Amino acid sequence: MFEPAQGRWVNQKIPTKAQVTYTAGMMVYNDATNNVPAVDATQQNVRGILLEAKASSATTTSIHARVPSGTDCTFYADMESGETITKANEGTPFDFADGGLTVSTASTYDAVTLVKFLTTTSGEFSLNITTGVEN
């Protein structure tokens, strides 16, 4: 699960996509059609952290999310089940894990960077800013 750590995060109402389940505390991004859970290949268009859940349904509604207001915003995140990090990983880029609920130790897409080691299974991360050159 994700939770804002530092910086100014603002609450915004964002639209959802039909037939998708949303969980409070998950990270969402815009896939060019609507806001959906972050996946391992997410590199840009990250919207924020959901404040509420929504069951999968045929309708699209709006739900509230905490959205970073600048590049100085960081967030707490758990690692994918079975994966661990160490203090030596600070400054290392990682990917989101599928499902928008955790971070993966994979570094193919480099969407986030570990800025502060907390435990072997959690840390404080920042979003990486894409510069137009895809990995």
For residue 96, the tally of other CB atoms under 10 A from its CB is 29
In this structure, what are the phi and psi dihedrals at residue 61, rounded to the nearest 5 degrees? Answer: -130, 180
pLDDT above 90 as % of the chain: 82
Integer Cα distance of 69 and 49 in angstroms:
12
Contact present, 102 and 80 (Cβ < 8 Å): yes
Q: Specify the DSSP class assigned to residue 16.
A: B
Integer Cα distance of 36 and 16 in angstroms:
7
pLDDT tens digits, 45-64 = 999 999 999 999 888 889 99
What's the predicted TM-score (pTM) here? 0.90
In this structure, what are the phi and psi dihedrals at residue 89, rounded to the nearest 5 degrees? Answer: -80, -5
Identify any residues that bridge with 10 across adjacent strands, giving them in sequence order. Answer: 67
Q: Find, among 65, 66, 127, the residue nearest to 95 by Cα.
A: 127
In this structure, what are the phi and psi dihedrals at residue 106, rounded to the nearest 5 degrees? Answer: -65, 150
For residue 78, the tally of other CB atoms under 10 A from its CB is 19
Q: Where are the domains of the chain?
A: 2-68, 74-127
pLDDT tens digits, 49-103 = 999 999 998 888 899 999 999 989 999 999 999 999 999 999 999 999 998 999 9
